[in-house]
Amino acid sequence: MKSSTFAPLAAVFSALLALPQLATAFYLPGVAPTSYQPGSSVPLYVNSIKPVAAPDARLHSVMAYDYYEPKFQFCQPEGGPKYVSESLGSILFGDRIMTSPFNLQMARNESCTKLCTATYDMPSAHFVNKRIMKGYALSWLVDGLPAGQNLLDDLTGTTFYSPGFAMGQISQTDPDGPTFFNNHYDIVIEYHKVRGNADQLRVVGVIVQPATRAYKSGNENDLDCNDNGIPPVVLSEDPDTTTDVTFTYSVYWTESPTAWATRWDKYLHVFDPKIHWFSLVNSAVVVVFLTVTVTSVLFRALKKDIARYNRLDQINLEDLSGTSALEDGVQEDSGWKLVHGDVFRTPAHPLLLSVFLGNGAQLFVMTGFTICFALLGFLSPSNRGSLGTIMVFLYTLLSFVGGYVSARVYKSMNGEKWKLNMGSTPLLVPGIVFSTFFFLNLFLWANGAAGAVPFTTMLVIVGIWFIISVPLSVAGSWLGFRAPVFEPPVRTNQIPRQIPPATTYLKPIPSMLLVGILPFGAIFVELYFIMSSIWFSKIYYMFGFLFLCYGLMIITCAAVTVLMVYFLLCAENYHWQWRAFLAAGMSAGYIFANALIYLISKLSLGGLSGTVLYIGYSALLSFLFFILTGSIGFFASWWFVQKIYGSIKID
């Protein structure tokens, strides 16, 4: 897609990354192009007002506001603004799209049209000035394309469109001085003629150049929007004065050679693609190298162990007296075989573990499917909120998998409270997620922010959950309980063995810290981009990268956990089940720590509620990630333990 110096590797990856472009050529549902005739009206929709990076490149808030929040006093369309219907995912991700008073006609220039005049008193002036300081930006949509600002990337010398444009500016000369409020918009729209047909025009680019113009009152009917000599608009915060602001806009339509299919390319700008490639290749090499080393060492050790154990068996059979010094001496030898009578002993709290594992399997399949859909181009950015919608949809349907896995694991662990298991699988983890989400929303409601998910949407989600998700999960559990258990290859002794004291690095906390860091390392680079897409409202589209990183993470997670379990069993500690789950899940601890570092280095959320929201959402995502990676670690270890104890003879 973008140039890179890693030519051969890049070629392969680019082929992967180009998939979405190929797929969009077939026009997936919801993203078919709209053609307009010259002069026909093209609606401009407004979205919620979100903070983007302020001039100091830090994010100062995480609250979004409705475009028509009364204190902003933006001009409304005749008859009041109306909501434009949106997908569930779009609402969950904070979009609030509404109609606007702008009147755009395809290929008809419009110069200096007056919208309305608003009067700002002290409270609203203070409110608006504060939002300008915090770097809030307006986001408009024309034909599904976000209105952007044309920016120059200094590094590569290319121009790109950055979605959203500033609500105002801080004075260049005096950073502590007044803020200037933008009240004039130069809307430049690029259109493309379909196969040169002058009757079929498509929107392929939208740029808004905002400006601040304090028009003299009195001559409202004779405004000169292009006069750069007009002083800027400063909203006075003096309690005794009010400021009148007249909003104006101009529209310029320009023909563009960009085809409809590639109209998003300018928005999906990669800052410094080399660094992205470099860090991806870098982490991939490190992770693959470590994993290969670890597994080869492990396999060699295992082969030696198994050969030794089976040779000992041979000696024992031949030496029927069974009292030789050799036998006693070597049988007492350390090794994982010693714990064969305990390794399949039911772990503590089998119910909780199986519920986590069921939910982990559900999340695992969901993320896998989501990334595949994205790779195939189903989640194009024109289809707003499709990512969120598809995730909710998949998570709901896949609760069947969750119930099945949970029940099967629980039965294999000799669990007896099967009704409790059936009930808690669809209720415990989703319950935690939903209550945290609800609690964080209370904060947003309290602040009157638009990012709050409306109460009705909450009800819809609870409805979907109880009507579809819970029955599916129960059905899955029912099937899981009827399926045969996984028979352990060795019998469990009546009396548990004593566990010798562990060396330092095998103690729970150090082993968790050691194991967790590698899967985290595999996704660290991608995480940075995902975080800036979540918090800085950047469009995330590098699903090819994400796919590779997700694969690397799964492999690493499985390999290091298996290694830890091997060491644990060699140290005659057979409590591997929870240890495997927690150690692999620890990568979520690193993700949370990373989020806290991000908070300090990239955000300046002065105020309690912003910080609570940020930490709350980070904790929620980390918790889900904990369950996901923990389950990967557990199932890999389970498979491993079954395999190694199945390959030795126990008399």
Helices vs strands, H then E, count in the chain? 16, 17
Q: Residues near 216 by Cβ (< 8 Å), separated by ≥ 6?
A: none
> Least CB distance from residue 254 to ligand NAG, whole Å?
5
- Residue nearer to ligand NAG on the CB measure, 254 or 493: 254
Contact 160, 224 (CB under 8 A): no
Residue 196 DSSP symbol:
G
Nearer to ligand NAG, 38 or 471 (CB): 38
> Which CB sits closer to ligand NAG, 227 or 319?
227
Q: Which residue do the tokens 């490190």 mark?
A: 286
Of the pair 196, 501, the CB lying nearest ligand NAG is at 196
Distance of CA 573 to the CA centre of its chain: 37
Report the candidate in 279, 407, 299, 435 with the shortest Cα–Cα distance to residue 350: 407
Q: Which position's Cβ is nearest ligand NAG?
A: 109
Cβ pair 507, 499 in contact under 8 A: no
Nearer to ligand NAG (CB atom), residue 254 or residue 293: 254
Task: Tell me which DSSP letter residue 36 carries.
Answer: B
Nearer to ligand NAG, 188 or 534 (CB): 188
Shortest gap between Cβ of 163 and ligand NAG (angstroms)? 22
What's the min distance (Å) between Cβ of 466 and ligand NAG? 55
Least distance to ligand NAG, CB of residue 253, Å: 5
Q: Give dist(CA 488, CA 495) in Å, integer.
A: 17
Instruction: Supply the minimum distance, in Å, between the C-beta of residue 252 and ligand NAG.
Output: 4
Element (H, E) at 247: strand 243-255
Phi, psi (deg, nearest 5) at residue 326: -60, -50
Fill in the amino acid letter for 436.
T
Which one, 189 or 287, has the nearer CB to ligand NAG?
189
Which residues bind to ligand NAG, rule: CB under 6 A?
107, 109, 252-254
Residue 116 pairs in a beta bridge with: 247
In whole angstroms, the minimum distance from the beta carbon of 455 to ligand NAG comes to: 45
- Identity of the residue, 104 or 525, whose beta carbon is nearer to ligand NAG in the bound complex: 104
- Which is closer to ligand NAG, CB of 169 or CB of 258? 258
State the nearest-atom distance from the C-beta of 203 to ligand NAG, in Å: 15
Taking the complex as a whole, the smallest distance from the CB of residue 111 to ligand NAG amounts, in Å, to 9
Least distance CB 209 / ligand NAG (angstroms): 12
Alpha carbons 610 and 620: distance in angstroms, whole number: 15
The residue with tokens 């620890």 is 586
What is the DSSP annotation of 135-180? TEEE-EEETTEEPEEEEE-TTT--EEEEESEESEEE-SS-TTSPEE
Q: What does the alpha-carbon distance between residue 527 and residue 545 come to, in Å, rounded to a whole number?
A: 11
Cα–Cα nearest to 337, from 578, 495, 640, 570: 570
